[in-house]
Amino acid sequence: MSITEARPACKPADYKSDIKPIWCPGCGDYHVLMSFNRAFAELGLPPEQIVVVSGIGCSSRIPAYTNCYGFHGVHGRSLALAAGLKVTRPELTVIVASGDGDGYSIGGNHFLHACRRNIDMTYVVMDNRVYGMTKGQPSPTTEPDFDTALSPGGTGLRPFHPLVIALASGANFIARCFSGEPNATASTLVEAIQHPGFSFVEILSPCVTFRPDEKDWKELVHPAPVAPTSDPGKAARRIMTDDGFNIGVLYRGDRKPYAPAVGRASADLADLEKDFEL
């Protein structure tokens, strides 16, 4: 029997670190953290089997608040870090945490290619439709008429549609959650983590400080009226035409995850170095 098998199962509280979150009171990200810990406990994974990788933003603070392995990376680069980690340590469960600014703006290109590569990991974006940490600038998912001192009269720009882009780019599992429903979010995270390939979970997570209007989301969200589909055409129609507040698993694909053969290089490092000698 291995050491991990011999010890008692972890409870959600066992995944909490000693660091107290510094999110604003009422921030949706507190509930996302709670959902992470519930999902990890439900999966029965020991903390040292999980890695939470992030970029920059309020949402990206989350790795510090778990006692799993963590990597607080740089803006928009979390998926690249996580891909490198997963292909070299495929036995680890890799969760990537991001925000709509971090993940869809600076990290937008990585998002497309992570979906396309379909490496077995779970990408969670806490979408509050604003750059929270840098005081409320519009992000790629901000409504065109969001009128503040930082965007007088609104940007007038059409928002980015993350779920459609994920589907078109090849993500193998797509879901939308609401942070205010931590039990349902935890169950979706369990499913996302268990699903092979690249799973994308968009969590609507209000920024109560710069988007107090998002407190109304609890009245707007509703369960998706349709069962998940594995037909990308059907999923595209549903996602394109929903109201943005349908909650649930929307797509379960069956693409084979990409798992490159690593650690089998035949070249000697000294020979490679010779090739680069000046």
Ligand X SMILES: Cc1ncc(C[n+]2csc(CCOP(=O)(O)OP(=O)(O)O)c2C)c(N)n1
In the complex, the residues that contact ligand SF4 under the rule CB under 6 A are 23-24, 27, 29, 58, 128, 132-133, 207-210
Q: How far apart are the first and last CA of the chain?
A: 53
* Binding of residue 128 to ligand X (CB under 6 A): yes
Q: Specify the residue, 106 or 133, whose C-beta has the smaller distance to ligand SF4.
A: 133
Residue 101: contacted member of ligand X, ligand SF4, none (CB under 5 to 8 Å, by partner type): ligand X
Q: Specify the residue, 45 or 58, whose C-beta has the smaller distance to ligand X.
A: 58
Residue 134: contacted member of ligand SF4, ligand X, none (CB under 5 to 8 Å, by partner type): ligand X
Q: Minimal distance in Å, beta carbon 86 to ligand SF4?
A: 27
Q: Residues binding ligand X: what is the number (CB under 6 A)?
A: 18
* Binding of residue 139 to ligand X (CB under 6 A): yes
CA distance readout (Å), 166 to 4, 128, 198, 199, 201: 35, 18, 10, 9, 10
> Which of 204, 235, 187 lies closest to 39 in space, CA to CA?
187
Among 37, 54, 59, 93, binds ligand X (CB under 6 A): 59
Residue 24: contacted member of ligand SF4, ligand X, none (CB under 5 to 8 Å, by partner type): ligand SF4
Cα–Cα distance for residue pair 179/59, rounded to 1 Å: 12
Contacts 24+ apart (CB under 8 A), 233-239: 235/167, 235/174, 236/164, 236/167, 236/168, 239/161, 239/163, 239/164, 239/167, 239/174
Cα–Cα distance for residue pair 86/190, rounded to 1 Å: 18
Q: Specify the residue, 23 or 200, whose C-beta has the smaller distance to ligand SF4.
A: 23
Cα–Cα distance for residue pair 152/6, rounded to 1 Å: 60
* Binding of residue 208 to ligand X (CB under 6 A): no
Q: Minimal distance in Å, beta carbon 42 to ligand SF4?
A: 25
Q: Minimal distance in Å, beta carbon 51 to ligand X?
A: 20
- Strands 121-127, 93-99: pairing kind: parallel
Residue 102: contacted member of ligand X, ligand SF4, none (CB under 5 to 8 Å, by partner type): ligand X
DSSP assigned state of 210: T
Are the C-beta atoms of residues 46 and 5 closer than 8 Å to each other?
A: no
* Binding of residue 99 to ligand X (CB under 6 A): yes
Q: Minimal distance in Å, beta carbon 100 to ligand SF4?
A: 10
Please identify, among the stretches 54-62, 78-86, 154-162, 192-200, the one whose residues bind ligand X according to the rule CB under 6 A.
Answer: 54-62
Q: Three-class SS of residue 212?
A: helix
Among 133, 150, 164, 190, binds ligand X (CB under 6 A): 133
For residue 149, count other CB atoms closer than 10 A to its CB.
7
Q: Minimal distance in Å, beta carbon 210 to ligand SF4?
A: 6
* Binding of residue 63 to ligand X (CB under 6 A): no
For residue 274, count other CB atoms closer than 10 A to its CB.
9
Binding footprint of ligand X on the chain (CB under 6 A): 56-59, 75, 99-102, 126, 128, 130-134, 139, 207
